[in-house]
Amino acid sequence: MDYDWDNRVDTTSATVSWPDRLRGVFNSPYQPTEPGLFHEMIRSLPIEFSEFTFIDLGSGKGRALLMAADYPFRRIVGIELLPRLHRVAQENIREYRSEAQQCFAVESVCGDAVDFAFPPEPAVLYLFNPLPENGLERVIANVELSLEKNPRPVYVVYHNPLLEALLVRSATLKKVGGTDQYSVYASLESGGHKIPAV
Ligand SMILES: C[S@@+](CC[C@H](N)C(=O)[O-])C[C@H]1O[C@@H](n2cnc3c(N)ncnc32)[C@H](O)[C@@H]1O
Protein backbone atom coordinates (compact mmCIF):
# COMPACT_ATOMS: atom_id res chain seq x y z
CA MET A 1 0.00 0.00 0.00
CA ASP A 2 2.84 2.41 0.90
CA TYR A 3 4.55 1.66 -2.41
CA ASP A 4 1.35 2.39 -4.32
CA TRP A 5 0.63 5.57 -2.40
CA ASP A 6 4.16 6.89 -2.87
CA ASN A 7 4.23 6.12 -6.59
CA ARG A 8 0.55 6.64 -7.52
CA VAL A 9 0.19 3.14 -8.96
CA ASP A 10 -1.93 0.04 -8.25
CA THR A 11 0.29 -2.95 -7.47
CA THR A 12 -1.35 -4.25 -4.28
CA SER A 13 -2.81 -7.76 -4.12
CA ALA A 14 -5.73 -6.35 -2.07
CA THR A 15 -7.63 -5.19 -5.18
CA VAL A 16 -7.20 -8.36 -7.29
CA SER A 17 -10.64 -9.55 -8.48
CA TRP A 18 -12.14 -12.78 -7.16
CA PRO A 19 -11.94 -14.61 -10.54
CA ASP A 20 -8.22 -13.78 -10.70
CA ARG A 21 -7.72 -14.85 -7.08
CA LEU A 22 -9.35 -18.14 -7.97
CA ARG A 23 -7.13 -18.58 -11.03
CA GLY A 24 -4.18 -17.75 -8.77
CA VAL A 25 -5.02 -20.78 -6.65
CA PHE A 26 -4.49 -22.98 -9.71
CA ASN A 27 -1.43 -21.12 -11.04
CA SER A 28 0.37 -18.94 -8.54
CA PRO A 29 -1.42 -16.24 -6.52
CA TYR A 30 -0.46 -12.64 -7.24
CA GLN A 31 1.74 -11.18 -4.54
CA PRO A 32 3.98 -8.18 -5.21
CA THR A 33 7.61 -8.10 -4.13
CA GLU A 34 8.42 -6.08 -1.02
CA PRO A 35 10.53 -3.04 -2.11
CA GLY A 36 13.33 -3.29 0.50
CA LEU A 37 14.07 -6.88 -0.41
CA PHE A 38 13.84 -6.17 -4.15
CA HIS A 39 16.50 -3.48 -3.95
CA GLU A 40 18.70 -5.70 -1.78
CA MET A 41 18.51 -8.48 -4.41
CA ILE A 42 19.18 -6.21 -7.39
CA ARG A 43 21.99 -4.26 -5.74
CA SER A 44 23.77 -7.53 -4.92
CA LEU A 45 24.29 -8.25 -8.64
CA PRO A 46 27.84 -7.65 -9.91
CA ILE A 47 26.69 -6.30 -13.27
CA GLU A 48 26.84 -3.30 -15.56
CA PHE A 49 23.07 -2.68 -15.65
CA SER A 50 23.11 -1.00 -19.05
CA GLU A 51 24.24 -4.28 -20.67
CA PHE A 52 21.40 -6.36 -19.17
CA THR A 53 17.70 -6.89 -19.88
CA PHE A 54 15.55 -7.43 -16.79
CA ILE A 55 12.91 -10.14 -17.31
CA ASP A 56 10.20 -10.86 -14.72
CA LEU A 57 8.42 -14.16 -15.41
CA GLY A 58 5.00 -13.82 -13.77
CA SER A 59 5.05 -10.04 -13.49
CA GLY A 60 1.50 -9.52 -12.20
CA LYS A 61 0.61 -5.84 -11.86
CA GLY A 62 4.21 -4.93 -12.65
CA ARG A 63 5.65 -3.78 -9.35
CA ALA A 64 9.00 -5.53 -9.94
CA LEU A 65 9.12 -3.95 -13.42
CA LEU A 66 8.65 -0.47 -11.94
CA MET A 67 11.24 -1.07 -9.23
CA ALA A 68 13.70 -2.42 -11.81
CA ALA A 69 13.16 0.80 -13.81
CA ASP A 70 15.01 2.64 -11.04
CA TYR A 71 18.20 0.96 -12.39
CA PRO A 72 19.71 1.73 -15.81
CA PHE A 73 18.80 -1.64 -17.36
CA ARG A 74 19.00 -1.85 -21.15
CA ARG A 75 15.29 -2.74 -21.17
CA ILE A 76 12.69 -4.39 -18.93
CA VAL A 77 10.11 -7.04 -19.87
CA GLY A 78 7.41 -8.70 -17.78
CA ILE A 79 5.37 -11.76 -18.79
CA GLU A 80 2.03 -12.22 -17.06
CA LEU A 81 -0.50 -15.00 -17.64
CA LEU A 82 -3.66 -13.21 -16.42
CA PRO A 83 -4.94 -10.55 -18.86
CA ARG A 84 -6.47 -8.34 -16.15
CA LEU A 85 -3.22 -8.16 -14.17
CA HIS A 86 -1.30 -7.50 -17.40
CA ARG A 87 -3.62 -4.59 -18.24
CA VAL A 88 -3.12 -3.06 -14.79
CA ALA A 89 0.66 -3.45 -15.30
CA GLN A 90 0.41 -1.59 -18.61
CA GLU A 91 -1.49 1.22 -16.92
CA ASN A 92 1.09 1.33 -14.08
CA ILE A 93 3.96 1.55 -16.58
CA ARG A 94 2.18 4.47 -18.29
CA GLU A 95 1.45 6.28 -15.03
CA TYR A 96 4.71 5.63 -13.12
CA ARG A 97 6.50 8.86 -12.28
CA SER A 98 9.63 8.73 -10.18
CA GLU A 99 12.72 10.85 -10.01
CA ALA A 100 14.59 7.58 -9.44
CA GLN A 101 13.56 6.12 -12.82
CA GLN A 102 16.53 5.35 -15.06
CA CYS A 103 15.11 2.85 -17.58
CA PHE A 104 12.17 3.89 -19.77
CA ALA A 105 12.00 0.85 -22.08
CA VAL A 106 9.54 -1.07 -19.93
CA GLU A 107 6.85 -3.43 -21.24
CA SER A 108 4.37 -5.99 -19.96
CA VAL A 109 3.52 -8.92 -22.24
CA CYS A 110 0.47 -11.12 -21.68
CA GLY A 111 1.41 -14.77 -22.09
CA ASP A 112 2.57 -18.00 -20.51
CA ALA A 113 6.08 -17.81 -19.04
CA VAL A 114 6.63 -21.41 -20.08
CA ASP A 115 6.48 -20.39 -23.77
CA PHE A 116 8.64 -17.29 -23.40
CA ALA A 117 11.41 -17.14 -26.00
CA PHE A 118 14.43 -15.67 -24.23
CA PRO A 119 16.06 -12.82 -26.16
CA PRO A 120 19.71 -13.53 -27.05
CA GLU A 121 21.12 -10.79 -24.81
CA PRO A 122 22.61 -10.65 -21.28
CA ALA A 123 19.73 -10.87 -18.84
CA VAL A 124 18.61 -10.83 -15.25
CA LEU A 125 15.76 -13.30 -14.93
CA TYR A 126 13.56 -12.57 -11.92
CA LEU A 127 11.39 -15.33 -10.46
CA PHE A 128 9.05 -14.78 -7.53
CA ASN A 129 7.51 -18.24 -7.45
CA PRO A 130 5.42 -17.85 -10.59
CA LEU A 131 5.28 -21.52 -11.58
CA PRO A 132 4.65 -25.03 -10.30
CA GLU A 133 7.36 -27.68 -10.62
CA ASN A 134 6.68 -28.80 -14.21
CA GLY A 135 6.44 -25.17 -15.42
CA LEU A 136 9.70 -24.15 -13.76
CA GLU A 137 11.40 -27.25 -15.17
CA ARG A 138 10.39 -26.16 -18.67
CA VAL A 139 11.55 -22.58 -18.08
CA ILE A 140 14.97 -23.78 -16.87
CA ALA A 141 15.25 -26.05 -19.91
CA ASN A 142 14.40 -23.06 -22.15
CA VAL A 143 17.08 -20.92 -20.49
CA GLU A 144 19.65 -23.72 -20.87
CA LEU A 145 18.80 -24.17 -24.55
CA SER A 146 19.00 -20.43 -25.13
CA LEU A 147 22.42 -20.33 -23.42
CA GLU A 148 23.62 -23.24 -25.53
CA LYS A 149 22.66 -21.34 -28.71
CA ASN A 150 23.90 -17.94 -27.47
CA PRO A 151 26.37 -18.23 -24.57
CA ARG A 152 26.13 -15.01 -22.51
CA PRO A 153 25.91 -13.71 -18.96
CA VAL A 154 22.52 -14.53 -17.42
CA TYR A 155 21.62 -14.17 -13.74
CA VAL A 156 18.57 -15.84 -12.21
CA VAL A 157 17.30 -14.08 -9.08
CA TYR A 158 14.94 -16.53 -7.39
CA HIS A 159 12.90 -14.90 -4.61
CA ASN A 160 11.48 -17.32 -2.00
CA PRO A 161 13.08 -20.26 -3.82
CA LEU A 162 10.68 -23.06 -2.93
CA LEU A 163 11.70 -25.19 -5.92
CA GLU A 164 15.42 -24.46 -5.78
CA ALA A 165 16.23 -28.18 -6.13
CA LEU A 166 15.40 -27.81 -9.84
CA LEU A 167 18.11 -25.18 -10.28
CA VAL A 168 20.67 -27.01 -8.16
CA ARG A 169 20.81 -29.81 -10.73
CA SER A 170 21.37 -27.46 -13.70
CA ALA A 171 24.72 -27.99 -15.43
CA THR A 172 24.56 -24.50 -16.96
CA LEU A 173 23.46 -22.31 -14.06
CA LYS A 174 25.48 -22.26 -10.84
CA LYS A 175 24.63 -20.71 -7.49
CA VAL A 176 26.66 -17.54 -6.84
CA GLY A 177 24.84 -15.93 -3.92
CA GLY A 178 21.73 -15.36 -1.87
CA THR A 179 20.28 -15.44 1.62
CA ASP A 180 17.48 -17.44 3.24
CA GLN A 181 15.01 -15.23 1.30
CA TYR A 182 16.46 -15.55 -2.20
CA SER A 183 19.05 -17.32 -4.33
CA VAL A 184 21.12 -16.04 -7.22
CA TYR A 185 22.27 -18.35 -10.00
CA ALA A 186 24.48 -17.38 -12.93
CA SER A 187 25.46 -18.82 -16.29
CA LEU A 188 29.08 -19.90 -16.74
CA GLU A 189 29.71 -16.84 -18.96
CA SER A 190 28.93 -14.53 -16.00
CA GLY A 191 32.43 -15.20 -14.67
CA GLY A 192 31.43 -17.24 -11.60
CA HIS A 193 32.02 -14.34 -9.18
CA LYS A 194 30.54 -15.17 -5.80
CA ILE A 195 28.22 -12.52 -4.39
CA PRO A 196 29.05 -11.71 -0.76
CA ALA A 197 26.09 -12.26 1.61
CA VAL A 198 24.41 -8.99 2.65
C1 LIG B 1 4.03 -14.18 -6.70
S2 LIG B 1 3.39 -13.26 -8.08
C3 LIG B 1 4.82 -12.25 -8.49
C4 LIG B 1 4.49 -10.89 -9.07
C5 LIG B 1 5.67 -10.04 -9.50
N6 LIG B 1 6.70 -10.83 -10.13
C7 LIG B 1 6.30 -9.29 -8.35
O8 LIG B 1 7.33 -9.74 -7.87
O9 LIG B 1 5.78 -8.25 -7.93
C10 LIG B 1 3.37 -14.52 -9.36
C11 LIG B 1 2.70 -14.09 -10.65
O12 LIG B 1 2.91 -15.12 -11.64
C13 LIG B 1 1.77 -15.18 -12.48
N14 LIG B 1 1.76 -16.47 -13.21
C15 LIG B 1 1.38 -17.69 -12.75
N16 LIG B 1 1.57 -18.63 -13.70
C17 LIG B 1 2.10 -18.00 -14.78
C18 LIG B 1 2.53 -18.41 -16.07
N19 LIG B 1 2.46 -19.68 -16.44
N20 LIG B 1 3.02 -17.49 -16.93
C21 LIG B 1 3.10 -16.17 -16.57
N22 LIG B 1 2.70 -15.71 -15.36
C23 LIG B 1 2.23 -16.60 -14.46
C24 LIG B 1 0.62 -14.99 -11.51
O25 LIG B 1 -0.58 -14.61 -12.17
C26 LIG B 1 1.19 -13.89 -10.58
O27 LIG B 1 0.87 -12.62 -11.08
Kindly report, residue by residue over 112-130, the tens digit of the pLDDT: 999 999 999 999 999 999 8
Which atom from ligand 1 is nearest to the alpha carbon of 113? 20
Q: How far is the CA of 15 from the centre of ligand 1 (A)?
A: 16
Which pTM value belongs to this model? 0.94
Q: Which tops the pLDDT comparison, 192 or 61?
A: 61
- pLDDT of res. 194: 76
**Sequence-ordered list of residues with C-beta below 8 angstroms from that of 186, at least 6 positions apart, any chain:** 153, 154, 155, 156, 173, 174, 176, 192, 193
158 CB near ligand 1 (under 6 Å): no
Please name the residue whose Cα sits nearest to atom 13 of ligand 1. Answer: 58
Ligand 1 centre distance from Cα of residue 49 (Å): 23
CA distance 156 to 115: 17
Give the atom of ligand 1 at the shortest distance from the alpha carbon of 38: 8
**Residue-range domains of the chain with CATH:** 2-190 (3.40.50.150)
**Centroid of ligand 1 to alpha carbon of 25 (angstroms):** 12
Pairwise CA distance, residues 84 & 61, whole Å: 9
pLDDT tens digits for range 18-60: 777 777 666 788 999 999 999 999 999 999 999 999 999 999 9
